[in-house]
A and B are shown apart, each in its own frame.
Chain A
Amino acid sequence: NAGVTQTPKFQVLKTGQSMTLQCAQDMNHNSMYWYRQDPGMGLRLIYYSASEGTTDKGEVPNGYNVSRLNKREFSLRLESAAPSQTSVYFCASSDLQETQYFGPGTRLLVL
């Protein structure tokens, strides 16, 4: 039982490059989330998926797209990376008791 896994752990991109952050959970949770964490800003919700086949925007969706591939996987795509997207990205899933389980994070640097 790995919980929530994220790949990659670290990534350096040049401005304008694209990449996809992968997230998978093995807890059979319906809801999944993508957050970004920046110093002094706490966690801000980018997108979430309440169930397989649905996605909704969070607080800071601009510049990102998501795909809920199946119940286990929820990916985040940066089509054209910008320095403002330098951040730590966390994926989470939540159970019926509303507890969120977080992955270890992806540290992204955009030059």
Chain B
Amino acid sequence: AQSVTQPDIHITVSEGASLELRCNYSYGATPYLFWYVQSPGQGLQLLLKYFSGDTLVQGIKGFEAEFKRSQSSFNLRKPSVHWSDAAEYFCAVGPFSGTYKYIFGTGTRLKVLA
């Protein structure tokens, strides 16, 4: 069955430090992969997505993610975190063959220390 796992529920980093948020998926084929960000009280906004081609994907706000097929992973990274990056981050997979369904991970809440 398809699934998305974000193993870290909470992550705390200092402003200016690097960041990596983990995402692992389970799907028989190469999926479409997404990272979304949710600020408090807001809807979700797309950070970046991977469909095919270059496995290192650049997104908005200085984020990037790398697709590693051998590890079924799509980890999100940022070299230097800003206080405004404090939010919840969701990894998503889909749509699945023959459907328009997406599966979201349970999210990672990022706290940034000044």
Q: Which residues in chain B, 40-59, are within 8 Å of chain A measured between CB atoms?
A: 41-46, 49, 51
Instruction: Select the residue from A31, A45, A58, A98 with max chain B CB neighbours within 10 A.
Output: A98
In the bound complex, CA of A41 to CA of B90 (Å): 11
Residue numbers in B under 8 Å from A43 (CB-CB): 44, 90, 104
Interface string of B82-114 (1 = CB under 8 A from A): 000000001010110001111111110000000
> Are B43's CB and A102's CB within 8 A?
yes
Interface residue B32 (Cβ < 8 Å from any Cβ of A): yes
In the bound complex, CA of A100 to CA of B90 (Å): 13
Residue numbers in B under 8 Å from A104 (CB-CB): 42-43
Interface residue A90 (Cβ < 8 Å from any Cβ of B): yes
B31 CB, nearest partner CB in chain A, Å:
11
Interface residue B9 (Cβ < 8 Å from any Cβ of A): yes
Q: How many residues of B contact A (CB 8 A)?
A: 26
B93 CB, nearest partner CB in chain A, Å:
11
> Are A31's CB and B100's CB within 8 A?
yes
Considering the complex, give the chain B residue whose CB is closest to the CB of A44.
B104
Q: Which residues in chain A, 22-57, are within 8 Å of chain B measured between CB atoms?
A: 31, 33, 35, 40-45, 48, 50, 56
A66 CB, nearest partner CB in chain B, Å:
14
Chain B residues engaging chain A, CB cutoff 8 angstroms: 6, 9, 32, 34, 36, 41-46, 49, 51, 90, 92, 94-95, 99-107
Chain A residues engaging chain B, CB cutoff 8 angstroms: 4, 31, 33, 35, 40-45, 48, 50, 56, 58, 90, 92, 94, 97-105
Sample (30) of A-B pairs whose CB atoms are under 8 Å apart: A33-B100, A33-B102, A35-B104, A42-B90, A42-B104, A42-B107, A43-B44, A43-B104, A44-B104, A45-B101, A45-B103, A48-B100, A50-B100, A56-B99, A90-B44, A92-B44, A94-B100, A98-B34, A98-B49, A98-B94, A98-B95, A99-B46, A100-B44, A100-B92, A100-B102, A101-B46, A102-B36, A102-B44, A103-B43, A105-B41
